[in-house]
């Protein structure tokens, strides 16, 4: 996304005026795609100054729409999770809509989500051009491709505070099935939205085409590209045939063949290729355009074989479930059920656990399952906000409360959580002075914004989390005992990964949640044993990051071997499922364990320069998403200099 400079802003404001008053749009004054959209809006009689007007669906109706788009929602979850993670830090939201622009899911920064709701950028609202004029969602659907709408390029005056990038998702029959959108405040630079969204769409469409080939009983799967080293990456073309007839394709394949979606279900091999359907790897010419294409032909991967049950009680082996891409062992599931009951009964929940055990994931699941699912969840990481800012961030301030305050004051995060859940992460890091103020809010049910004369009533449920041992912090005088007792009504401690059971089931489920099976990627028995025997000082974060990266970097059909694992996991002498002697067990985890070594397979396994580019894109996407879009952190994860990463993003953005 580009951020409009002050000058551009003035110019476009002038252009808006001319267009509104005289219907005149000077050549080159706005991007062509924006100009076309403004013309469409004007011809529908839409006025630029029309106030936000929407009638978002209620919960039951929205649920029905979500059920109707069940395949899209299920398949898009991993990408939406990653995009939401990136947007949480970029202070924006990631959105998934249906094919008409109805918002099915919106996640990311809660503060921005609150502002977005004021213009109905929220689940249940429809952002087609008919409803909202020029906007990334509606305009990308109208144009059928990636569209960015920045600030005053929005048609309605009210939407000018937004900068949005959107791209439609095509299903394997070539129809628009939905769309990803990244929206944020137009004043914040969002430099990598285009790259993130493109990679998300390419990944999703590739996975969808693979699944469709399997589900439709295709007897032939064809991967194609003009350059052979792109084969086996999400950037390859995919075609599925049954009895010689084309039954599914991804958008890349249609583009490479120079045909449109109407050929799916209608055309056969001979109409597409200038050569017979024989052999496994071939170079054939396309009928349309005669371009030479490298093909890899295979039978679609059969459903992944079930593992033989591992020793141990059957009930344990079944006690791992995957929901929304997250993995729940029955022990943690039972803790979640208790925490939901407590939150529903307005009992504060205190969540403790080592770093990476999934505390934040737990709280988001708690919110979704609780009776407050349609109310706000406002998350504040007390360790991430500088001490001097935390007070105003939490409690808000009145107009002109202090120098530098935004003119119109700020409600503060506590009041934003009104009617919902306030999640105070890393509460052990809250300075003592603020602990006293927070205690007062909890006791009195009212908050006094900075510079305000009188307090404001508040009503919210509290969930607090920390990786510190709060009892010790109290004993050492770093945490107020009265606040500790106030928070600690229901205390939930998330078990470190090394002590969770069944650990083999968790490793298998986290691996399955990466979507490995749809690309026929397997773990060798030795690699799996090593993973089960590792001490996992970084807990679920370390396991999930490692498996996602290994799968992203592997070729389709590959077997991930023990040699592909990072040095510290490979080097562990005696794999042992319970791993009680692991020297790292119980130690404070490093901030980003093993991550420098994660990228090794990307380089060593890459088959060629073009393919390396695709794999790098994938690794960059994962690293950015995994670090909330933070360039420096992503560069560290990838083991490259941040300037190199900037350059790479510019090149692909």
Q: How far is the CB of 88 from ligand ATP (least distance, A)?
A: 10
508 binds ligand ATP (CB under 6 A): no
Structure tokens at 286: 């396309």
Residues 6+ apart with CB under 8 A from 415: 396, 447, 449, 456, 458
Pick the closer one to ligand ATP by CB: 183 or 549.
549
Q: What are phi and psi of 230, to 5 degrees?
A: -80, -15
* Whole-number Å distance between alpha carbons of 494 and 475: 22
Q: Rank residues 206 and 467 by Cβ distance to ligand ATP and give the closer one.
A: 467
| Radius of gyration of the CA atoms of the chain, in A | 26
Using CB under 6 A as the binding rule, the residues of this chain from 334 to 353 that contact ligand ATP are 353
**Measured from the CB atom, is 98 or 360 closer to ligand ATP?**
360
360 near ligand ATP, rule: CB under 6 A: yes
- Cα distances from 498 to residues 26, 536, 619, in angstroms, run 65, 6, 27
**112-171 residues near ligand ATP, rule: CB under 6 A:** none
Site membership for ligand ATP, residue 327 (CB under 6 A): yes
Residue 633 binds ligand ATP (CB under 6 A): no
Give whole-number Cα distances, 43 to 20, 23, 101, 141, in Å. 12, 10, 20, 18
* Measured distance CA(541)–CA(355) in Å, rounded: 8
- What is the token pair recorded at 496? 């470190």
Q: In terms of Cα–Cα distance, which of 438, 449, 452, 464 is closest to 339?
A: 464
DSSP codes joined into one string, 364-432 = HHHHHHSTTTTS-EEEEETTTS-HHHHHHHHH-B-TTSSTT--TT-B--HHHHTTTSEEEEETGGGS-H
Least gap, CB of 107 to ligand ATP (angstroms): 13
Q: Which residues contact 29 (CB under 8 A, 6 or more apart)?
A: 11, 12, 15, 35
Q: Is residue 358 involved in binding ligand ATP (CB under 6 A)?
A: yes
The least CB distance from residue 396 to ligand ATP, in Å, is: 25
Dist. CA 371–CA 175, nearest whole Å: 36
Based on CB atoms, which residue is closest to ligand ATP, 543 or 649?
Answer: 543
User: Between 510 and 551, whose beta carbon lies closer to ligand ATP?
Assistant: 510
Closest distance of CB 99 from ligand ATP, Å: 29
C-beta of 537: minimal distance to ligand ATP in Å? 12
Count CB neighbours of 35 within 10 A.
Answer: 19
- To ligand ATP, the closest distance from the beta carbon of 77 in angstroms equals 12
Closest distance to ligand ATP from the beta carbon of 301 (Å): 24
> In the range 416-475, which residues lie near ligand ATP by CB under 6 A?
467
Q: Is 298 exposed, middle or buried (0-12, 13-18, 19+ CB in 10 A)?
A: middle
Nearer to ligand ATP, 85 or 613 (CB): 85
Of 9 and 509, the one with the shorter C-beta distance to ligand ATP is: 509
Pick from 203, 355, 595, 611 the residue near ligand ATP by CB under 6 A: 355
Minimum CB separation from ligand ATP for residue 562, in Å? 22
Whether 373 contacts 367, CB under 8 Å: yes
* Residue numbers 523-552 binding ligand ATP by CB under 6 A: 540-541, 544
Structure tokens at 278: 């024989």
What number of other Cβ atoms are within 10 A of residue 389's Cβ? 9
CB of 472 to ligand ATP, least distance (A): 17
Among 125, 361, 492, 521, binds ligand ATP (CB under 6 A): 361
Which x/- pattern over 307-326 shows residues binding ligand ATP (rule: CB under 6 A)?
-------------------x
Q: Does 510 bind ligand ATP (CB under 6 A)?
A: yes
| Least distance between ligand ATP and beta carbon 363 (Å) | 8
Measured from the CB atom, the residue of 182 and 510 that comes closer to ligand ATP is: 510
CA 267 vs CA 242, 247, 476: distances in Å: 11, 9, 74
CB-wise, 544 or 599, nearer to ligand ATP? 544
What are the counts of helices (DSSP H) followed by strands (DSSP E) for the chain? 27, 21
- DSSP letter at 489? S
Size of the residue set binding ligand ATP (CB under 6 A): 16
Stretch that binds ligand ATP, among 166-174, 356-364, 367-375, 452-460 (CB under 6 A): 356-364
Nearer to ligand ATP, 148 or 429 (CB): 429
The nearer residue to ligand ATP, 381 or 576, going by C-beta atoms, is 381
Q: How far apart are CA 648 and CA 575, in angstroms?
A: 39
Q: How far is the CB of 552 from ligand ATP (least distance, A)?
A: 13
CB nearer to ligand ATP: give 360 or 393: 360
Rounded to a whole number of angstroms, the minimum distance from the CB of residue 471 to ligand ATP is 18
Number of residue whose CB is nearest ligand ATP: 358
Tell me how far apart the alpha carbons of residues 388 and 409 are, in angstroms, rounded to a whole number. 17
In sequence order, which residues have a C-beta less than 8 Å from that of residue 366 and are 6 or more positions away? 336, 339, 340, 343, 349, 421, 463
Q: Which two tokens stand for residue 26?
A: 């000077």
Q: How far is the CB of 75 from ligand ATP (least distance, A)?
A: 18
Binding-site ranges for ligand ATP (CB under 6 A): 326-328, 353, 355-361, 467, 510, 540-541, 544
């Amino acid at each position: 996304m580009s951020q409009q400079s002050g000058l551009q802003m003035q110019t476009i404001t002038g252009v808006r005026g001319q267009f509104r008053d005289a219907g005149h749009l000077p050549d080159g004054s706005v991007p062509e795609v924006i100009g076309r959209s403004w013309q469409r809006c004007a011809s529908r009689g839409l006025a630029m100054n029309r106030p936000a007007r929407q009638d978002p669906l209620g919960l039951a109706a929205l649920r029905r729409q979500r059920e109707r788009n069940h395949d899209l929602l299920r398949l898009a979850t991993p990408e939406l999770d990653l995009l939401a993670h990136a947007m949480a830090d970029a202070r924006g939201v990631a959105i998934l809509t249906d094919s008409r622009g109805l918002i099915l899911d919106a996640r990311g920064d809660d503060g921005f989500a609150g502002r977005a709701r004021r213009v109905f950028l929220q689940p249940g609202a429809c952002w087609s051009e008919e409803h909202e004029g020029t906007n990334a969602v509606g305009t990308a659907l109208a144009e059928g491709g990636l569209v960015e709408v920045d600030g005053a390029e929005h048609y309605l005056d009210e939407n000018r505070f937004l900068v949005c990038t959107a791209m439609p998702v095509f299903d394997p029959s070539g129809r628009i099935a939905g769309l990803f959108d990244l929206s944020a405040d137009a004043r914040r630079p969002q430099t990598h939205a285009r790259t993130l969204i493109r990679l998300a769409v390419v990944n999703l469409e590739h996975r969808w085409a693979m699944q469709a080939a399997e589900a439709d009983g295709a007897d032939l799967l064809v991967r194609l590209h003009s350059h052979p080293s792109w084969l086996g990456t999400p950037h390859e073309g995919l075609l599925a045939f049954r009895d010689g007839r084309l039954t599914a394709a991804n958008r890349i394949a249609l583009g490479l063949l120079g045909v449109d979606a109407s050929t799916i279900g209608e055309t056969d091999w001979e109409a597409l290729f200038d050569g017979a359907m024989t052999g496994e790897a071939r170079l054939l010419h396309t009928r349309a355009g005669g371009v030479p294409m490298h093909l890899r032909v295979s039978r679609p991967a059969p459903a992944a074989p079930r593992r033989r049950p591992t020793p141990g009680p059957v009930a344990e082996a079944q006690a791992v479930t995957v929901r929304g891409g997250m993995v729940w062992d029955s022990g943690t599931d039972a803790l979640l059920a208790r925490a939901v009951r407590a939150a529903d009964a307005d009992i504060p929940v205190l969540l403790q656990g080592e770093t990476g055990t999934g505390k934040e994931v737990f709280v988001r699941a708690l919110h979704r399952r609780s009776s407050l699912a349609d109310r706000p969840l406002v998350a504040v990481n007390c360790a991430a906000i500088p001490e001097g800012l935390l007070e105003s961030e939490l409690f808000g301030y009145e107009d002109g409360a202090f120098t530098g305050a935004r003119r119109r004051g700020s409600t503060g995060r506590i009041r934003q959580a009104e009617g919902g859940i306030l999640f105070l992460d890393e509460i052990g890091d809250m300075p003592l002075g603020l602990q006293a103020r927070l205690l007062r809010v909890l006791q009195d049910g009212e908050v006094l914004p900075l510079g305000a004369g009188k307090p404001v009533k508040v009503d919210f449920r509290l969930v607090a989390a920390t990786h510190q041992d709060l009892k010790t912090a109290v004993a050492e005088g770093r945490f107020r005992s009265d606040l500790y007792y106030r928070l600690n009504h229901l205390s939930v401690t998330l078990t470190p990964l090394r002590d969770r059971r069944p650990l083999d089931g968790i490793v298998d489920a986290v691996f399955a949640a990466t979507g490995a099976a749809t690309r026929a990627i397997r773990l060798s028995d030795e690699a799996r044993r090593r993973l089960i025997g590792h001490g996992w000082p970084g807990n679920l974060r370390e396991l999930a990051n490692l498996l996602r990266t290994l799968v992203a970097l592997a070729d389709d059909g590959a077997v991930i071997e023990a040699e592909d694992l990072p040095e510290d996991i490979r080097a562990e002498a005696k794999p042992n499922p319970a791993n009680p002697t692991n020297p790292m067990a119980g130690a404070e985890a490093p901030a980003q364990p093993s991550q420098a070594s994660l990228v090794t397979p990307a380089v060593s396994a890459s088959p060629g320069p073009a393919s390396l580019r695709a794999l790098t894109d994938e690794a960059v996407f994962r690293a950015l998403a995994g670090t909330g879009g933070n360039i420096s952190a992503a560069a560290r994860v990838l083991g490259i200099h941040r300037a190199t990463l900037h350059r790479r993003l510019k090149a692909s953005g």
